[in-house]
Structure 1
Amino acid sequence: MRTNQPKTIYLSEYRVPDFLVDHVDLRFELFEDGARVHSTLSVRRNPEATGPAEQLELNGDSLTLESVHLDGRELQAGQFEDRGELLLVPSVPDAFELQVVTWIEPQNNTRLEGLYKSSGMFCTQCEAEGFRCITYFPDRPDVMSRYRTRIEADKASYPILLSNGNDVERGDLDGGRHFVTWEDPFPKPSYLFALVAGDLVEKKDRFTTMSGRDIDLRIYVEPRNATKTGHAMDSLKRAMRWDEEVYGREYDLDIFMIVAVDDFNMGAMENKGLNIFNSSCVLASPESETDMAFQRIEAIVAHEYFHNWSGNRVTCRDWFQLSLKEGFTVFRDSRFSADMGSPTVKRIEDATLLRTAQFAEDAGPMAHPVRPASYMEISNFYTLTIYEKGAEVVRMIHTLLGPDLFRKGSDLYFQRHDGQAVTTDDFVRAMEDASGRDLGQFRLWYEQAGTPVLTVEDDYDEAGQVYRLTVRQSIPDTPGQTGKKPQHIPFALGLLDQDGNDLPLALAGEEAPGGSTRVLELTDEEHVFEFTGIDSRPVPSLLRDFSAPVRVNYPWSRDQLMFLMSHDSDGFNRWDAGQRLAVDVIRELSGHADASVDDRLVQACRTLLNDQDADQALVAKMLQLPSEAYLIELSDGADVQIIHHARERVLKALATALRDDLLACYRRQQPAEHYQVTPEDVASRSLRNMALAWLLHIGDEQARELALEQFHSATNMTDQSGALRALVNSPFGDDRSRTLDAFYQQWHQDPQVVEQWFSIQAASPVSGDLAAVRRLLEHEAFDWKNPNKIRCVVGAFAGQNLAHFHEQDGSGYQFLADTIRRLDDSNPQIAARLCAPLTRWRKFAHVYSEGMRKALESVREKDGLSRDVYEIVHKSLAD
C-alpha cells in the first residue's frame, strides 16, 4: 500500500531514468476474484544517466508479488527486495529481460486507479501513476516502451477484450475462456496503457484520412446505451477532419476506439488508440441529454482525440510538464469548438471559467505556476491552472505569432519531438525557431503563479487630438513566490467614437493607422501609449476577446458600459460590459439595503430581449447575471448571504419590470420541429428557458402554466430539464414535488439523467438545504462508489448552492468535511477534489471563515489521511 507520509517532489531534482524499457510484453489472466499479470520487460541501462546504477528500482502499489525472473532465472529471497511501493533488484547487467508475476484484486479497487471493475467490466485508469497498481514498472512518463498485450478471460462474461494498438491475434482457450492479443507499434509511457474487458455493444464507423487510409472507428457501450453513441461518433469524425485541416495531423493506427465507463474519476483518458470515457462525457440522445451535454461531449471527444499528437506521439518528460500536453490540447479543443459553433460564445464560456474558478485558484493556498516547481501528490495538479490557464498561455503565443507562424511552430514541434518525452521549454523553443521571435520573457507565464492585474488610466488632449493610455501591470504574491517580474502580455484594445464606431488606431510615430483593434505588447511594469488623430474623447474597449488571462481595472462609468454593450464591435467586450454593469448594480445593493435597481440595467436588458436582429447566442449570454461565485471572487471578506440576497433582489426586480418582455421572448422562441445542436437552436432554447426561469422566480402564475406544459410536452431534455429546474427554483412547492417525482419515474433507469435530477435538487437555492441534500444521499439511486453521483450531489451543493452551503452555523462546512473524511479511505482523488470549497476560507468574512477553518482542521485530524487530501488541507491551513 502507498504510504501516507507525504514527500515533496521538486522539478529541480529531476534526473533521467537509470534504466529504459524498450518493450513490454503483458499477459492478463482475468478472473472474478482477481487478476494475474505476467509482465516481461526488455530493460537496458540509459546511456544518458548520470553515474552507474547497479540496482533496478520499479514502482508498485497494492500488488501481491508471486515471482521474479531475471533472464529466465527465478530470483530467490535475498536476490530482490519487495518494499511494497518499490521492487529492488540489485546487481543487474547492462541489458536484460525481467519477468514479474503479480496478483491484483480489481473488484476491490475503489480508488479507480490501475485496473478495476465498473458495472461488471474490467477497465483501467493509469494516468498519472496507476500503472504501478497493475505491475511493477518504472512508472514515469519519460520511460517510453512498445507494448504487446494478451488478455485472457471467460468468453461468455467478457466477449470484448481491448487494449492499445492493433488486434493481431485471437482465439479460444480451455474452460470456456478466450484471448485477444494487441500490439501497439508506437512507444508510449505507461500512463497511456489501457485495457477493457466486458460484455459490450460495438458501434462501428469508418473515416478516410487525407492520405486515403481507412480508419476503423469503434465505440463500445453497455447494451442499454446502444442508441446513445451517434453524437460522439459524429464528433470524432469532425475532430479528425479538423485536425487534418488545421494542424495537418493524420491519425496513425488502423483503429480508434472509445469505451464508456460509469465509474471514472476523470472526464476521459486519451490512452493510445483506446480512449476510456466517463459515460457522462460520451453518451447522448436529444431525449436524455441537454444542449450543454451535447456541446461538452463534442469538446471532450475532440480533446482526447487531439491528444493523439499533443500528448501521445509527443508526451511530457515529467509531471511538472503536464500542461505541455493538457494546455496545448485544451487550446486545440477550444478552437475546434469555436469553429463548430459560435466563437464569441465559446470565448465567453472560457473566460467565465477562468475569471470565476481559475483566478480563484490563482489567489488561493494551492496557487501554482502553469509549470509547478514542486508537488506532493500529482493527482492534485490536474487543475484549472494546468488546463485552462495553460491553454491561455498557448493562445497568447498564437496571438503574438499569428496563425501562420503558430502553425509553422506546431509543425516543427511535432516533427522535432515525435516519439519523445519533452518539456514546455521545448514547445516554446519550437515556436521561437519557427517564427524568429524571442519568447524568453514570455516563459515567465510558465514559471510565475498568480493572475496579473492591469491598472489602466487615460487622458485626452483635445488640442493635440492625442489619446493617452497608461498601463501598469502587477502580479500578487502567492505561496512561495514574491516580488515577481513583469510578464509579456498581449493587450488587445479598440477605441470607439461618439457614434459607437471603431476608430482607426495610429500610435505616435506611425505613418498610418494599424487597424481598429491593436494588440499592444506589455513587457514592462508601466507603459504609456499615445494614439494620434483622435478628434474627440473615445470610449476604450480594453482586453478585446480576452486576449490575456488578466484582471483589468479601469473606471468605466455606467453610461460608458451601456454604450459598450450597445456598440462595441467585439462581442466578448459587449458581454463583459454588461457583466461589469450588473456587478456594479449588485454591489450597490449589497451595501445599501434601501437602494433600488438602476433603471439603466433594466433598459439594457429590455433592449437585449427585444433585439431580434442581434446574435441570439450572444444575447442569451449577455442576459445571464454574474454568478454568486464570481461576485465572491471579486470581494474581500465576502459575506455570502449579503451577496446572495443582493443578486436575488436584482434578478427579481428585472423579472418584475420585464415580465411582458420575457413572456414575449418565451413565445417567440418556439421549439424547432427537429432537434439540432446548432448555435441558433441552442440560443433559442437558452433564451426560452432563461425567460421561463426568471418568470418562475417571481411566482408568475402564467409562467407556471407554461412551465408545466413545457415539462410534459418537451421532446428534448434541454426543454424538459429547463422547465423542471425553473419549477424547482420557484415558490410553487407542490409543483416542484410532483414534477421531481414524475421526472424520476420517467428516467430512473438512465443513470446519466438521474445525475441531472440529483444536481438540480442539490444546487437549488430554494429547496436544496442541507437536510434535502442528506435525503438525496439516502436515495436508492445514490451510490457512494460512483464519482459522478458524488459530484452531482455533494459537489453541486458545495460548489453551486452557495447560500445553503455557507449557512452561518457552519453545518454545510462540517457536512463537507465529514464527506471528505469518509471518501478519503475509498477514493482519495475524489475526496481531495471536494476540498476546494473550503480551501479559500481566508477569502470570506469572519462569520464564515472560522467555520471553514474548523472543518479543514477536522479533516486534518483524521488518522491515516491520504497524500492527496493531506497536501491540500495542510497548504490551506498553513500560516
Structure 2
Amino acid sequence: MRDGQNSVIYRADYQAPAYWIDTVDLCFDLDPAKTRVLNKMKLRRNADVAPQPLRLDGEELNLSRVLVNGQGTSFKIDGGQLVLENLPEGDQPFELEIFTTCAPVKNTKLMGLYVSNDSFFTQCEAEGFRRITYFLDRPDVMASYTVTLRADKARYPVLLSNGNLVDQGKLDDGRHFARWVDPFRKPSYLFALVAGQLVCREQRITSRAGKEHLLQVYVRPGDLDKTEHAMNALMDSVAWDEARFGLSLDLERFMIVATSDFNMGAMENKGLNIFNTKYVLASQATATDTDFSNIESVVGHEYFHNWTGNRVTCRDWFQLSLKEGLTVFRDQEFSQDLAGEASARAVKRIEDVRVLRTAQFPEDAGPMAHPVRPDQYLEINNFYTVTVYEKGAEVVRMMQTLVGREGFARGMTLYFERHDGHAVTCDDFAQAIADANPGSQFEQLLPQFKRWYSQAGTPRVTAVTQYDEPTGEYRLTLSQSCPPTPGQEHKEPFVIPIGLGLLAADGSELTSRMHVLTQASETLTFPGIDGEPVPSILRGFSAPVILEHAYTDAQLLTLLAHDTDPFNRWEAGQRLAVNRALAFMGQQAMPASDIRLDQPYIEAMRSILRHPTLDSAFKELVLTLPAETYLGEQLQEVDPQRVHAVREAMRQQLAQQLQADWQCAFETNSDTGGYVPDPVSCGRRALAGMALTHLCLAARSGAHSAGPGQPDVWPGKAYQRFKDAANMTDRFNALSALVISGNELAAPALQKFHALFKDEPLVLDKWFALQAGQPDRGGNVLPAVKQLMNHPDFNIRNPNRARSVIFSYCSANPGAFHRPDAAGYVFWSERVLELDPINPQVAARLARALDRWKKLVEPLRSAAREAIARVAAKPDLSNDVREVVTRALAD
C-alpha cells in the first residue's frame, strides 16, 4: 500500500498480505544503549495472493543476521524495508530468524522501544513495532507471541509482556529472565513490554463466569498510594462489560503500567495496558474531580478494547474507528451507567457533546476534514482524531438509537460470534448490527446509513415551523445538507435520527417521539394542537449535526425553564448566550467595556442558579458560556481577540449582576464533607468553584459584596480557601479564580502552589497550563509562556509538559495566541520546528493549532499563512507535520 516513505496511502488500494505470520518468538536482551532482539517467526505464503517477495517493515534498526530455515539467505534493504526473494515455494510454513539491535535511550519519538526514567516501555500503535524488529507491521497480520525478556535484575527487577507469565528465573552475572505467552493471536501493534523499578497494587477478583483473575497496577516507587482509584475503575470495568455485554476477562491477569513519557493517553496492548501517568495516578491532594473522572473513563476505554479492538481488530488503519469509535461509545455508556441517576447521566452526555462540538465540528470544517473512515493518509498518526473517536462514537450511538439497547446488544453478540480472532472492517460491524435485528428500520436503511462512514463534514439540519391557528395544525419541515469538504464537493443525504418534543406555552409537554430523517427535506404534521407550541428538536443530541432553527428568545426561555430533555434545556441556555455574543461582536464600534446583558437573560441565569431541584453540576454547565472556539465557528470571519473580549465582558456582567446569587451558591456548595469523587459532590465543588471565580471577577470590577465603600473580601477568601483546601479540586479552583480575575494575590498563590507540589509532575502540569491559558491582559501571556519555557521544571521532550505550556497557549488560548503583531504565530512555528525532530507526533498535534487560519480576519489571516508556509518550507519535515501543513495551505 506504500510506495516509498512519502507517498499517500489509499483505502481503495488495500491488498491482503502476501504472507501470514503464525507464530513469533521474541527474545530481548535489554540494554538502554544497545538492546538485542532475536525474532524467530513461522511464516507461510498467502495462497490467495500471487507469489511475490517478502517485504518486512523496519525503522532505525541495526541488522545483524537473517536466516531462513536455519540457513543464511540473500536479502536487500529497500526504502526501509527488508526484502527477501529466495524463500521456500509452496504453502508449507518456513522459519525466519532475524537478529537486530536498537538504542532505546536515544528514542525521543516514544514509538517502538524506549527508555523513560531508567525503565523500558513500548508504544507500537500504529507503526511502532517496526522500530523493534523487522516485521509485517500491519493490523491484519495476527500471530501468537512468546516473549522472553532478559535484563539486569538490580536495575530491572520487573519484566512484563503480553499474556500469561509461564517461566522466570536467574541468569548469570546478576541477570534474570521472564517468559510470557499470549494465548490469543494479535497484530503487532498490540505487542508490549515493560522493564524497570516498579511497584504494584494487586487485586484478585472472581468473574461472573466463576473464573479467578489477578489485576495489577504498576507504578514508580512512591506513587502506589495514588493507584486505588485506577484499580477500582478497572474492577468496575470488568464487572460492567460482563453485565452489559456478556464479555468476560479472558486472561489469567490484567496489568496496567503508568509512565510519565507517553504520546497518548493510554494503550490497550493485550493484557498489558501502558498508560500515561495522567490517567492512572490520583489522590484527593493531587488530582481534581476531572482527573478522577478521566481516569475512570480511560481505564474503562482501554479495558473495553480487550474485546472491541483486540479480540476483533482492524483489517487496515482506515478502519480505525471500528475499534476507537465503538470503544469510545462503550466508555461513555460505562461512565453514564456508573453515574447512576438521570441528572448525572445527562451531565455526562452534555460534557461529551461539548467536546464534540468544540473540537470535532471545527475539524469537520477545516483542511484536515476526513470521514469517520478515511480514504487516504500520508501519516496514520494524524488520523487519531476527534472525528475517528468522538464522531465515530456518535455513529455507533445512532445505531443503538435505531435498534434499541437490547437490539444493539444482540448485534454485539453476533459481531463476536462472526469475527472473534479476525481483522475486519467498519462495514462488518454495521452488518452484524443489522443482521441481528432483521426487519428493523436500521436494516432497511443500512446502505444509506453507512454514508456516515464515507462522507466527511457536519450535516446541517434546518427546521422551519408553521402553525395554522384555525385548524390547530402544526407543521415542522426538516431539511438536511452538508457543506463541501476537501475531496468531497457533493454529499448524499444521511440517515439522521432526530429526537422531537413539543411544549405548550406553559411548558407542559404535548408530545415526544423519534423521527428518522432520510430525505433532503421532510415535513411532519401534528394535528389538534391548541396554541402554537415550542419545538424541542434534536433531544439528547440524537445525531452529530448542527441544528439551525430561528428560535425566539421567548421559546428558548421556555425550553430553559421547562424542557424535560436535559440536553435541550442546556442547549437553550447556550443558544441564548450565543445569540447575545454574536450580536455584540457585530457591533464592532462598541468597546467590550460597554457591553450590557439584557435583563431577561440575566433573570434566566438567576433562575437557574436559584432553582431548588436542579443538580449543581447541571447548573454549572448551563452557566458556563460557550467556548471562544465554538463562538468563532459561528462567524464567517473571526477576530479571536474580539471574541475573547466579548466573552470576557459577558462573564464580567454575569459576575456583577448575579453577585448575591453567586455568594449564595458558593456558601451552599462549598462544603462537601469528606472527599468523594461521586457525581453529586463533584457537581457541588464545580459550582462552588465557578461561583468563587465570578465573585473574584466582580471584585475586579469594583462591585463590592461587603457593602458600599468597603474593600471586597472575595479575593482574600479565595486565597484563604486555596491555602486551607482539603482536596486538589477546591485548591485549584481557588487558584484559578485568582489567576483568571487577575488579582494581585495570584502571584503569591502560584509561588506557594509550586512550592507545595514541586515534586508532583502531574500537579506541576496544571500549574504550567493555568498560567499559559490565562486571560490575556495587554499581551502579557506570550512573555509569560516564554518565561515558563525557561523554568527549571520545563522539559520539552516530555509530552505532558510540552502540552501543558505550548498547547495551552497555542491551542487553548485563542485570545492570547492570535496577537495583532503575529508574535504568537512566530512562536508557534518555532515550537513546531523544534518539536518535529524530537517527537513528530507531538509536533503534528501542535501544527493543527492553525487549522482554521482561513477564517481569520486580515491581517491575521496573512500572518498565519506566512507562519504555516515557514514550517512547510523546511526540507526535512516528518510526514506527520508535512501532511498537516500541506493540507492547511491547500486551496
Instruction: Flag whether TM exceeds 0.5 (same fold).
Output: yes
Equivalent-residue separation in structure 1 for 2:137 and 2:830 (angstroms): 33
Q: Is the 8 A contact 2:689 2:734 kept in 1?
A: yes
SS of residue matched to 1:224: coil
Q: Secondary structure at the match of 1:241?
A: helix
**SS at structure 2 position matched to 1:800:** coil
**Structure 1 residue 83 displacement after superposition:** 3.1
**Contact 1:637–1:846 (CA<8 Å) still a contact in 2?**
no
Which residue does 1:235 correspond to in 2?
233
1:364 maps to what in 2?
366
Q: Please list, as runs of the form range in 1=range in 2, the aligned pairs for 1:8-87 lying within 5 A after superposition.
A: 8-49=8-49, 51-53=50-52, 55-75=53-73, 79-83=74-78, 85-87=80-82
**Comparing 411-420 with 25-34, which one deviates more in the overlay?**
25-34
Shift of 1:847: 2.2
Report the Cα distance in structure 1 between the residues aligned to 2:474 and 2:673, rounded to whole angstroms.
53
8 A Cα contact 2:33 2:103, kept in partner: yes
State the distance in 2 between where 1:484 and 1:637 align: 25
What is the match of residue 878 of structure 1?
Answer: 890
Deviation at 1:673, TM superposition (A): 2.3
Q: Distance in 1 between matches of 2:499 and 2:202?
A: 46
Residue 556 (structure 1) aligns with: 551
> 1:31 & 1:369 partners in 2: Cα distance?
43
- TM-score, normalising length from structure 2? 0.95
CA distance in 2, matches of 1:695, 1:589: 24
Conservation of the 8 A alpha-carbon contact between 1:4 and 1:864: no
Name the aligned partner's letter for residue 98 of structure 1: L
String of CA shifts for 1:499-519, please: whole Å, max 9, x gaps. Answer: 211113xxxxxxxxxxx2x11
Aligned residues of 2:595 and 2:649 also touching (Cα < 8 A): no
Q: Given the alignment of the two structures, is residue 98 of structure 1 paired with residue 108 of structure 2, yes or no?
A: no
Q: Which residue is equivalent to 1:801?
A: 813
Bigger mean CA deviation after superposition, 342-351 or 291-300: 342-351
* Partner residue in 2 for 1:508: none
Instruction: Note if 1:758 corresponds to 2:768.
Output: yes
Distance in 2 of aligned mates of 1:20 and 1:5: 23
Q: 2:534 aligns with which of 523, 534, 539?
A: 539
Match of 2:162 in 1: 164
- 8 Å contact kept, 1:209–1:250: yes
Distance across 2 between alignment mates of 1:526 and 1:3? 45
- Aligned ranges for residues 687-836 of structure 1 at < 5 Å? 687-698=687-698, 699=700, 701-733=712-744, 735-766=745-776, 769-836=781-848
Q: Determine if contact 2:164/2:180 at 8 Å carries over to the other structure.
A: yes
Q: What is the match of residue 425 of structure 2?
A: 423
Cα pair 1:617 1:683 within 8 Å, conserved: yes
Shift of 1:4: 9.2
Query: Paired residue for 2:193?
Result: 195
Aligned residues: 860
1:500 has 2:499 as partner: no
Residues 679-718 of structure 1 deviation map (CA, whole Å, 9 limit, x = unaligned): 1101100010000111112326221121011101101000
Aligned amino acid, residue 761 of structure 1: Q
**Which residue of 371, 374, 379 corresponds with 1:377?**
379
Aligned partners of 1:588 and 1:595 also within 8 Å = no
In structure 2, what is the equivalent of residue 509 of structure 1? Answer: none
SS in structure 2 of the partner of residue 749 of structure 1? coil
Superposition pairs for residues 309-324 of structure 1, below 5 Å? Answer: 309-324=307-322
Cα deviation digits, residues 560-580 of structure 1 (max 9, x gap): 111110000000000000000
Greater mean alpha carbon deviation, residues 766-775 or residues 456-465: 766-775
- Tell me which residue corresponds to 1:844: 856
1:257-282 per-position Cα deviation (integer Å, ceiling 9, x unaligned): 00001000000000000000000111
Residue 671 (structure 1) shift: 2.1
CA distance in 2, matches of 1:535, 1:129: 62
In 1: Cα distance, 2:583 partner to 2:152 partner: 67
SS of the aligned residue for 2:349 comes to helix
**Deviation at 1:595?**
5.2
- CA shift for structure 1 position 605: 1.2
Q: Residue 637 of structure 1 aligns to which amino acid in structure 2? A: E
Q: CA deviation at 1:295?
A: 0.2
Aligned to 2:483: 476
Residue deviations 1:84-131, cap 9 Å, x none? 610011121142100000000000000000000011110000000000
Deviations 1:612-637 (A, max 9, x none): 32122211111111111110111111
Counting only pairs closer than 5 Å after superposition, residues 315-394 of structure 1 correspond to structure 2 as 315-341=313-339, 342-394=344-396
Equivalent residue letter for 2:506:
D
Distance apart, 1:395 and its partner CA: 0.3
Aligned position for 1:507 = none
How far, CA to CA, are the matches of 2:888 and 2:813 in structure 1? 22
1:672 matched to 2:675: no
Corresponding residue for residue 296 of structure 2: 298
Partner of 2:614: 614
CA distance in 2, matches of 1:421, 1:257: 24
Look up the match of 2:469: 462
CA contact (8 A) 1:4 1:867 kept: no
Structure 1 distance, partners of 2:207, 2:5, is: 50
Q: CA deviation at 1:5?
A: 5.4
Structure 1 CA distance for aligned equivalents of residues 58 and 214 of structure 2:
35
Query: Residue by residue, what CA displacement relative to the aligned partner does 1:219-275 show, whole Å, maximum 9, x if unpaired?
Result: 100012111000000000111111111111001000000000100000000000000
Q: Please give the alpha-carbon distance, in whole angstroms, between the structure 2 residues aligned to 1:182 and 1:253.
A: 12
- Out of 446, 449, 455, the residue aligned to residue 448 of structure 1 is 455
Matched residue SS, 2:189:
helix
Q: Which residue pairs with 1:216 in the alignment? A: 214
**Counterpart contact for 2:871–2:885, Cα < 8 Å:** yes
Give the partner amino acid of 1:608.
Answer: I
Provide the C-alpha distance between the structure 2 equivalents of 1:205 and 1:310, rounded to a whole number of angstroms: 24
* Counterpart in the other structure of 2:573: 578
Deviation at 1:48, TM superposition (A): 2.6
Q: Quick one: distance in 1 between partners of 2:139 and 2:108?
A: 24
AA at the equivalent of 1:236: L
Native 8 Å contact 2:832 2:844 kept in 1: yes
Whether the 8 Å CA contact 2:641–2:816 is kept in 1: the answer is no
Report the 3-state secondary structure (helix = DSSP H, G, I; strand = E; otherwise coil) of the residue aligned with 2:716.
Answer: helix
**Residue type at the aligned position of 2:248:** E
CA contact (8 A) 2:5 2:79 kept: no
Tell me if structure 2 keeps the 8 A contact 1:500–1:567: yes
- In 1: Cα distance, 2:788 partner to 2:47 partner: 58
Q: Work out the CA distance in 2 between the residues paired with 1:793 and 1:596.
A: 34
2:402 aligns with 400
Question: Could you say which residue in structure 2 is the equivalent of 1:655?
Answer: 655
Partners of 1:191 and 1:640 in 2: how far apart?
Answer: 40
Question: Is the contact between residue 65 and residue 102 of structure 1 (CA under 8 Å) also seen in structure 2?
Answer: yes
Secondary structure of 1:6's match? coil
2:39 touches 2:99 (CA, 8 Å); kept in 1? yes
Among 136, 150, 153, the alignment partner of 1:152 is 150
> Of the candidates 105, 113, 119, which is equivalent to residue 115 of structure 1?
113
CA contact (8 A) 2:595 2:650 kept: no
Normalization by structure 1: what TM-score?
0.97
Q: What percentage of aligned pairs have identical amino acids?
A: 48
Is the CA contact 1:730–1:766 (under 8 Å) kept in the aligned structure 2?
Answer: no
**1:463 deviation in Å?**
2.2
The answer to whether the 8 Å contact 2:227/2:282 transfers is: yes
Matched residue of 1:223: which SS?
coil
3-state DSSP of counterpart to 1:174: coil
Deviation of 1:32 (Å)? 3.3
Q: Deviations over 1:40-71 (max 9, x none)?
A: 0100011232x222x11100000000100110
The answer for the alignment partner of 1:140 in structure 2 is 138
What are the ranges of 5 or more consecutive residues in structure 2 without an aligned counterpart? 705-711
Q: Distance in 1 between matches of 2:4 and 2:95?
A: 33
Report the residue type matching 1:632 in the other structure. Answer: G
Partner of 1:31, secondary structure, is: coil
* CA distances 1:542-589 after superposition (whole Å, capped 9, x unpaired): 100000000011000111111110000000000000000011111222
Distance, in Å, in 2 between the alignment partners of 1:5 and 1:57 is: 14
CA distance in 2, matches of 1:34, 1:816: 35
